[in-house]
Amino acid sequence: MADPDLNDLKRRMDGAIEALRREFAGLRTGRASISLLEPITVDAYGATMPLNQVGTIGVPEPRMITVQVWDKSLVSAVEKAILNSGLGLNPATDGQQVRVPIPQLSEERRVELTKIAGKYAEQARIAVRNVRRDGMENLKHMEKDGEISQDEHHMWGEEVQALTDEHVKLVDEVLAQKEAEIMQV
């Protein structure tokens, strides 16, 4: 008799949680974070390159991000990339360093960001439930093929559901943390 691979299901559900955390890292909370600039690409040397490959990104203070550009000829390209990123940031050049002040969030923008965070969390819940569905279908096939009995199917099904409930609860906790972070003035 073969047992279903619960470790694989857990790994896939954990992946959904990690993807959610990465999505949340890109949401602006009014505090400076390196992850805010990570998705930005710069036109450099005839190709598009990630920002962190043309300079060092730092956070010297809570409301300021700096990019120390390695090649002086790319400073204006970095500044332009940050301006065109759609993040609503206004960089200022200081020699080979680009300073990016992080503006205070308005109440309206905070509410909008919590709605976006809610959408990300719902996508993560859906991903977890899809993994659960795959696991349940696998159990059905195993029972049909005679690999497990009906009782084992029921027992494993309860374990898959418990794993799903645990991960959905984790998504809710991560969302509550992010919402509190966004709404903090």
Which helix (H) or strand (E) is 42 found in, with range? strand 41-44
What's the pLDDT at 10?
92
* Higher pLDDT among residues 104 and 114, named by residue: 114
d(C-alpha 153, C-alpha 159), whole Å: 10
What's the pLDDT at 165?
95
What's the pLDDT at 23?
82
d(C-alpha 150, C-alpha 69), whole Å: 63
Contact 79, 99 (CB under 8 A): no
d(C-alpha 75, C-alpha 55), whole Å: 9
b/e map of 131-169 (b: 16 or more CB within 10 Å)? Answer: bbeebbebbeebbeeeebeeebbeebbeebeebbeebbe
d(C-alpha 32, C-alpha 34), whole Å: 7
What's the pLDDT at 160?
93
Domains observed in the chain? 6-25+106-183 (1.10.132.20), 34-101 (3.30.1360.40)
Q: What are the tens digits of pLDDT across the range 6-32? A: 889 999 999 999 998 888 877 766 677
Average pLDDT over residues 108-113: 82
CA dihedral over 52, 55, 60, 65, signed as positive or negative: negative
Structure confidence at residue 1 as a pLDDT band (50, 70, 90)? very low
This prediction has a pTM of 0.68
What's the pLDDT at 172?
95
